[in-house]
Amino acid sequence: MFKFKRVHEDVFFISLILAAALLMAWPLWNQSLLYAHDSITYFSKAVAVHQSWREWDFLARWSPHINNGYGYPSLNFYSPLFSYVAAFFMFFFPLALGFHVAIFFCLFLSGVAMYFFVREIWGKQ
């Protein structure tokens, strides 16, 4: 199991991971949506979850706001975790910036998780 005895070393490496994540995510910190081949799809799902949460539908399995207003059960077929995280950040930031903060959050947490995994497997070296 994880042993948190090297706290100072962990804080140093996690701050390095944070600096690397900030450097890699530099294009995300603007109000325009990042252009990628599937960013519109994930953004529309996150906005649909955000709108469903504003209407007190917390599971948001049926999204009535996408598919030209006809609705679609997209979160029944695809993993909804990123849409939930992005919709949460959309309450605190504008829509596109909240989406980008969710991407940064996932990037940073993946780096931290990989650090603890590698530390557990290979040890200090």
53 in Cβ contact with 71 (< 8 Å): no
Q: List pLDDT tens digits, range 26-48.
A: 888 877 887 888 888 888 888 88
What letter represents residue 81's amino acid? L
pLDDT in tens, 56-83: 888 878 888 778 878 888 778 778 889 9
Q: Determine if the pTM surpasses 0.75.
A: yes
What's residue 87's pLDDT? 94
